[in-house]
Amino acid sequence: MGFLEKIRNKSEKTRKIIVWTITILIGLILFSWWIHYSIKKINKLSNLKERENFLKQDLNVPAFKKEVIDKIGKIKEEREKLKGSVKEEIKNLIIEEKNNNFKENNSK
């Protein structure tokens, strides 16, 4: 007789006890595995936060921000200068084109 045959020959009350015992054991095993996995994840996240805080302290963020803001300001100034010079170039080209058209019209 196999294991299942022995269980089938038991009373219904005994079979229910066996099924519930196995179910509870499997549930406890899965629950303990889940707890273990969650603790590992929490530790990993806390380590990441510690590293992030360390990096923020190491970079001296306020000074870094000031440098970046200053560089952005300089870039904006240069861009405005270029826009102004482009506008001047366009004006000069328009004036030159008008002068050329005027000369062509007067020479005819």
Same domain for 90 and 67: yes
Same domain for 46 and 76: no
Model confidence pLDDT, tens digit, residues 25-72: 999 999 999 999 998 888 887 777 777 766 666 555 566 677 778 888
Residues with Cβ < 8 Å from 56, sequence gap 6 or more? none
Model confidence pLDDT, tens digit, residues 6-16: 888 899 999 99
- Specify the pTM: 0.41
Number of domains in the chain: 2
Same domain for 53 and 11: yes
Q: Write down the pLDDT at residue 67.
A: 78
The range of the structural domain enclosing residue 100 comes to 60-108
Q: Write down the pLDDT at residue 4.
A: 83
Q: Which residue has the tokens 């054991």?
A: 25
CB atoms within 10 A of CB 15: 13
Bigger pLDDT: 76 or 47? Answer: 76
